[in-house]
Amino acid sequence: MKIWAVSNQKGGVGKTTTVVTFGGILASRGYRTLLIDLDPHGSLTSYFRMNPDRIDFSVYNLFQDAMARKKPLPEPYIVSTGFEGLWVLPASTAIATVERQGGAGGMGLVIANSLAAVRAQYDFVVIDSPPMLGVLMVNALAACEHLFIPVLSEFLGLKGLERMLHTLDMIGKSRKAPLNYTIVPTLFDRRTRVSVQTLRIMRERYGDRVWDAVIPVDTQVREASDAGIPLSHFMPRSRAAMAYTELLDHRLSQDRSRSAESAFATA
């Protein structure tokens, strides 16, 4: 089971879109995929037509279990999205309280620990995270093997990226393994100078940490979201869906070459 997270301390950068689109592509390839909503706004949850204000069982239950010193087991809270091979562990707005109580400590590994119990059930887990640093984001960063950081192709996007990388520096120290990440330029509009300029600056500053292509602005993204269908299923040949497919394949091939290297090293 591979665990990825999508995170950035800025909202509106394409985090949820990335999670849903990855989920759709992976599921359509036959991978059993679980999406986890760790954002109190519950946008991922709403995408699949569930109301985060109303649901009784959600990722919040895992935190409650952990606080009650019970072993957090995700299975009872996971629901089907209605798309084959794609499940979601939804958020209820109640998880905002985790952020407030979380300071009590020991809550940073709830998701990481609970996922151990579903290793055999899923091939991929993709975690959506809130746009602010707190216990929920820490849970996403602690649980994942690879992080995607969507960044808006505009000046404020660069500022947000700086902040996010600073956070990673802080959190990285408490992780056993270093956290690998890919910076993903999103909502890229090649007709605008600001998109082109920010991309150039991003590449100058962060080199090959930046994915070598971009996710273009594409009206199909909003259409898919309005229809409650992952973009990969709604319009697989759309520009954004193709870009996401390329990003995902890039990641999978990097993973394969890394595991080949480590097999070689231990042989």
Q: Which two tokens stand for residue 69?
A: 């010193």
Rule CB under 5 A: which of 20-49 touch Mg ion? Answer: 43
The smaller minimum CB distance to Mg ion, of residues 17 and 195, is found at 17
* Residue 35: CB atoms within 10 Å: 30
Among 3, 9, 15, 59, binds ligand ADP (CB under 6 A): 15
| Dist. CA 188–CA 47, nearest whole Å | 22
Count of residues engaged in binding Mg ion, rule: CB under 5 A: 3
Residue type, 104: A
Counting contacts by CB under 6 A, is residue 213 touching ligand ADP? no
The 76-115 contact track toward ligand ADP, x by CB under 6 A, reads ----------------------------------------
Residues 17-56 binding ligand ADP (CB under 6 A) are 17, 43
Query: What count of residues does the chain have?
Result: 267
- Partner interacting with residue 7 (select from ligand ADP, Mg ion, none; CB below 5-8 Å by kind): none
Tell whether residue 232 is a contact of ligand ADP (CB under 6 A).
no
Q: Say if strands 86-89 and 180-186 run parallel, antiparallel, or are unpaired.
A: unpaired
Cα(232)–Cα(246) distance, integer angstroms: 12
- Shortest reach from residue 124's CB to Mg ion, in Å: 19
For Mg ion, the closer of residues 43 and 81 by Cβ is 43
Q: Quote the CA–CA distance of 77 and 159 in Å, as a whole number.
A: 36
CB of 267 to Mg ion, least distance (A): 42
CB-nearer residue toward Mg ion: 156 or 196: 156
Stretch that binds ligand ADP, among 6-14, 78-86, 114-122, 161-169 (CB under 6 A): 6-14
Choose which of 1, 11, 64, 113 interacts with ligand ADP (CB under 6 A). 11
15 binds Mg ion (CB under 5 A): yes
Q: In what order do the strands lie in the sheet with 33-37?
A: 79-80, 86-89, 33-37, 124-128, 2-6, 146-152, 180-186
Whole-number Cα distances in Å, 38 to 47, 111, 112, 126:
14, 10, 13, 11
Rg of the chain's alpha carbons, rounded to an integer?
18
What is the spatial distance between Cα 102 and Cα 251, in angstroms, rounded to a whole number?
32
Q: What single letter denotes the amino acid at residue 79?
A: V
- Identify which of residues 19 and 78 has a Cβ nearer to Mg ion in the complex: 19
Give the residues lining the site for ligand ADP (CB under 6 A).
Answer: 11-17, 43, 186-187, 215, 217-218, 221-222, 225, 240
